Amino acid sequence: MAEVVLRGGLDSDEPDRVLLAVVIDPKGSPGEWAVAKIGDFCYVDEDDEVAYILQTDAWAERHLANGELTVDIMVYEAMLRHFDDVDLTLFEERSHHDPDAVRVLRVTGTTTHDTLPDETLVYLTPLDRLDEDDWPLVFAPPPEA
């Protein structure tokens, strides 16, 4: 089951930096599988040791109110059609930023923080088992209308 955290200690270079992280199981729900597959279309930055997801493919919509945190991963339906095993009927909720994109994953949690960083990091490995080879997928906020 996917989980979301908003906390420091995830960046070894800047341990006090608060990051928004979603942890998924690529073999989990259809939504988790779809998010992991998006990583096949990423831009890898070996210097930063991250994989950037282009806003032309997908993005993260995030909401934080009264300690309740929600992250929605939105993917363009055209991108999902690249995956042979995806059942598009499972993803019906459209993005209010762009109706050509659908929500493939919603993850909720709680936090004591009151602000969100610009990007959302998605890990395919539980945070307590990360090693130097576990680079996050970096999802930007929604594209501007």
Residue 47: inside a domain:
yes
Cα distance between residue 79 and residue 48, in whole Å: 25
Instruction: Kindly list the averaged pLDDT for each block of 10 residues, start to end, along the chain of length 145.
Output: 91 89 96 94 90 95 96 96 88 93 97 93 94 92 81
The answer to whether position 54 is within a domain reads yes
- Answer whether residue 132 is part of any domain: yes
| Sheet architecture: strand order including 19-23 | 3-7, 19-23, 120-123, 137-139, 50-53, 43-45
At residue 120, the pLDDT reads 97
Domain assignment present for residue 87? The answer is yes
Question: Is 32 among the domain residues?
Answer: yes
Residue 48, pLDDT score: 86
| 131 lies in some domain | yes
pTM metric for this prediction = 0.94
For residue 145, tell me if it sits in a domain. no
Residue 12 has a pLDDT of 80
Tell me whether residue 41 is in a domain. yes
- Domain count for the chain: 1
Task: Give the structural domain span for 106.
Answer: 3-139
